[in-house]
Amino acid sequence: MSQSFLSTKPIPHNERLIMALDLPSISEARKLVETLDDSVKFYKVGMELFMSGDYFGFIEWLKQQDKKVFVDLKFFDVPATVGRAIKALSQKGVDLATIHGNNAIMEAAVASKGDLKVLAVTALTSLDRGDLDDLGFQCDVEQLVLSRAKRALEIGCDGIVSSGLEVPMIRQQLEHRLLVITPGVRPVENRPADDQKRVVSVEQAFHNGADYIVVGRPIRDAENPKMMAERIQQQIAEQFQ
């Protein structure tokens, strides 16, 4: 294996796995959390659940179950609006939240975040070079990710969301000064055809420098979701032994 950038942050091993609750209803999400039981401590709740019903009631229920919560709504609006949204969210016991956009948006979020950790999105893992061309970006994925990571650090964001493919470059340039959350992680033996284009394995993600990984479909769609989550937790623990 090439150079390892294994996380140096004091995060319990079983909290490094963030389960993505990408489900159409709160009832289905709650059922999956109950099925996974103590195999998962950290959950991502995103836009699909936001549109399905009692989003904030569900977050409160997760906190009552002693779970950590990552709100992935990628706030993008005029800076004052984003700042007020982040301030309101910080009062709900949420642990992580994503924002998107320019320096002014990041500055407004940082000024309002309190104890909430704010993450800047770099480039979605569903995008490849052709997609960036379509969006009008005149740089490659790596340059875009590094530029956004540097700006996030300078402005005071706690971390970034980045594909595992770009994390080694971030660690080389910025060391471990930012939290890095890596989505699009697929266990080696479970790589379904889906809309994620820049994916890595569990082992790759952590040796590339991720602090947390986000896993959804490989656990949710497994024949035994709890067993799959436990298998991934074991893979994580092995990287830090």
Q: Angle at which helices 79-90 and 103-112 pack, to 10 degrees?
A: 30
Q: Cα–Cα distance between 3 and 219 in angstroms, integer?
A: 29
Active-site position among 63, 74, 150, 197? 74
| Residue entry with tokens 């893992």 | 125
Cβ proximity of 38 and 13 under 8 Å? no
Helices and strands, counts by H and E, the chain: 11, 8
Dist CA 159 CA 182 (whole Å)? 11
Alpha carbon distance 192, 59 (integer Å) = 29
Q: Please say if 74 is a catalytic residue.
A: yes
Catalytic site positions:
74
